[in-house]
Structure 1
Amino acid sequence: MSEPFQLPGINRVPMNAPMTWLARGWQDLWRAPGVCLAYGVGLALISFAVTATLYLTGQFTWFLVMAGGFLIVAPLLGMGLYRAAAMLGEGEAPGLGDMVFPKGVLRADTVLLGVALFVLFGIWAEAAYIIYGLSTYSVHTSVADFLAFLLTTPEGLRMGLIGSAVGGVIAFFAFTLVVVSAPMLLARDSDVFISVITSARSVLANLPVMLFWAFLIAALTALGMALALVGLVIVFPWIGLASWHAYRDLVQHREARAG
C-alpha cells in the first residue's frame, strides 16, 4: 500500500482528555484573541442574520432545526481555527487572512466532506419536518405560540423528545465522521476517505471519551446560542481551537504539514 493511503495509528486517551483539549483551546484563544474573536464575531453575525430572517418571515419554528444543523456542519466552519491552532503550536502568529483563507482547504477532498455533511443536514431537516408534521395539525407562526406548544402540551413535549433523539443520532453520526477528518484534511495528512475512516476509528476506540467530548461541544454551543448568539463569539473559536488539540492527541501522525 502506498504511503498516502496508510491508516495512521489511533491513541487511547483518558476520560479527562476533553477537559485538557478545552484548556489548551482556551490558552490558544487568548494567545491570539484579536483574530480568533474576529472569527467568532463573523460566525455570530451570520447566525444572527439567519435567526432574524427566520423570525421576520414567520419561520421561527425552524430555529431548532437550524441549530441542530449547525452542529452538523460546524466542523467545516472551524477550518480557519484549526489553522490558527496549528500556527500557534509552531510558534507563529496567525493572521485573519490565514484563518479566512487557510492553506490546503480549497480542494476536492474538503468539498466531498462538505457535501456529505450537507446531505446529513438535509436528512435531519427532512426528519424534523416529518416529526413536526406528525405532532400537530396547527401552524405556529409566532415564537410565543410555538414555545407554548413545545413546552406546555403533551404533543409538543413528545415532539421535543423524539426530535432530540433523532437529531442526536444524526449529529453524533456526523461527529463521528468529521471530528478528526476535518482537522486532518487541514493538516493535509491524507485524502478524505482515509480521514473519515480515521475519524470513525478514533471515536470507536475512545467511545466514552468521545461521547463526553460531543456532549461538551453540544452544551457549550447551546450556551452560546442561548446568550442571544453573542456567546458564540467566544464559544465557537474556543471549541474550534480545542478540536485541533483533540485531533493531535487522538491520531498518530507524521509531522503535521499545515504550513
Structure 2
Amino acid sequence: MLREECIITFKTEGSTPPENPTPQQRALPKVNTVTADDISASLKAGFSDFLARPFMSGFFGLFYAVFGILFVWTLVWLNKVWMIIPATIGFPLVAPFAAAGLYEMSRRLQKGESFGWSEVLTVIANQRKREMGWMAFVTLFICWVWFYQFRTVLVIVLQDSSFSDLEGFFNAVLFTPEGWTFLAIGTCVGALLSAVLFTVTVVAMPMLLDREVDFISAMLTSIRVVRESPVVMLAWAAIITVTMLLSLAPAFLGLIFTLPILGHTTWHLYQRAVTSVEE
C-alpha cells in the first residue's frame, strides 16, 4: 500500500507543469522618430564620409555607373529597346544592395578604424554567407515584378504601335495618346512598387551589415521606421528618387558622386533611426 502511494505521488509530482511559464521572446530593435534634422545631419555626415575617402567612395559609384551603361548598351544591341525605360527607372531600386561597401566604410569611419580596399571588399564578399543575400532576392524579385508589369502594360496599351528602334519607341511613348496612357499607368505601378521596396529596405540593408539579425526582422524594423515617421521618410524617399534619376541623365555618370553620398547618408540615418534593443 505504501509502495502504491509513493508511485502515485511520484507520477503526480512529475506531471505537474512549472508555475508561470515564461515564453522566450526575441529582442527587437528599438526605432526612433526620424525628423527633418536627422535627414539634414545624415546628409552632412554622408558628404563628410565621401570627402574623407573620395576615390574609394567614387569607385563604387563608378562601378554602378559602368554597369548601367553596359546594361543599356546590351539592350540596344539585342534590339530590346522597350526594356530601356523600365531598366533605367528600375536601376536605382538595387542601389541599396550595391551600397554595402559604402555602409562598411561609414561604419569604420564612425568608429575611427583604419581600413583599405582589402578590408572593405572582404566584408562585401562575406555578405554572401549572411542574410544580405535574402534581401538581394527580395530586391530582385520586386524588380522582376516591375519588368513584368511594364511589359504587360506595354502590350495592352501599345499593341497597335510599331517601333523597331530607340527613336521609334520614344516617339510612340512620348508623342501619342496611347503612349501617355502607358506612361501614366506605368508611373503609378512603378511608384507603388518603389514605395514597397523603399519601406522594407530603407534601414534593412545597413542593419544586416551592422548586426547579426535575420532579414525578416530587418524588414520589419524598416517598416516600423517608416510607420513611425511617414512624412519625413517619404521626403527622404523623394530626395533619393529625384537625385538618382537626375544622376542617370548624363549617361549614368552622375552616379559616381550621388550614389556614394546617398549610401553614406543611409548609414547615418540608420544609426539615428535604429539604436538599441527592446527587451
Give the aligned residue type for 2:140.
Answer: F
Output the TM-score relative to the length of structure 1: 0.91
For 1:66 and 1:147, how far apart are their aligned partners in 2?
Answer: 14
Matched, 1:180 2:203: yes
**Closer, same or farther in 2 for the Cα pair 1:141/1:17, shift >3 Å?**
farther
Aligned residue number for residue 157 of structure 2: 135
Q: 1:17 touches 1:209 (CA, 8 Å); kept in 2?
A: no
For 1:24 and 1:143, how far apart are their aligned partners in 2?
Answer: 41
Aligned residue number for residue 50 of structure 1: 71
1:9 is paired with a residue of what secondary structure?
strand
For 2:131 and 2:73, how far apart are their aligned partners in 1?
Answer: 33
Query: Structure 2 matches for 1:3-152, cutoff 5 A?
Result: 5-102=26-123, 105-137=127-159, 138-152=161-175
For 2:210 and 2:203, how far apart are their aligned partners in 1?
Answer: 11
- In structure 2, the gaps of 5 or more residues are 1-22
Aligned residue number for residue 14 of structure 2: none
**Closer, same or farther in 2 for the Cα pair 1:253/1:64, shift >3 Å?**
farther
For 2:41 and 2:177, how far apart are their aligned partners in 1?
Answer: 41
For 1:182 and 1:55, how far apart are their aligned partners in 2?
Answer: 32
For 1:253 and 1:153, how far apart are their aligned partners in 2?
Answer: 54
Matched, 1:210 2:233: yes
**Closer, same or farther in 2 for the Cα pair 1:57/1:108, shift >3 Å?**
same
Deviation at 1:61, TM superposition (A): 2.1
Q: 2:34 touches 2:233 (CA, 8 Å); kept in 1?
A: no
Deviation at 1:246, TM superposition (A): 1.1
Deviation at 1:164, TM superposition (A): 1.0
- In structure 1, the gaps of 5 or more residues are 255-259
Q: 1:8 touches 1:253 (CA, 8 Å); kept in 2?
A: yes
For 1:235 and 1:194, how far apart are their aligned partners in 2?
Answer: 29
Q: Name the stretch that deviates more: 149-158 or 29-38.
A: 149-158
For 2:249 and 2:260, how far apart are their aligned partners in 1?
Answer: 17
Equivalences, count: 253
Q: 1:181 touches 1:198 (CA, 8 Å); kept in 2?
A: yes
Aligned residue number for residue 221 of structure 1: 244
1:162 is aligned, of 182, 185, 198, to 185
**Closer, same or farther in 2 for the Cα pair 1:116/1:144, shift >3 Å?**
same
Give the aligned residue type for 1:250.
Answer: A
Which has the higher Rg, Structure 1 or Structure 2? 2
Deviation at 1:14, TM superposition (A): 1.4
For 1:32 and 1:150, how far apart are their aligned partners in 2?
Answer: 42
For 1:180 and 1:13, how far apart are their aligned partners in 2?
Answer: 12
Cα deviation code 1:125-175 (max 9, x no counterpart): 111111111111234232211221222111111111111110111011011
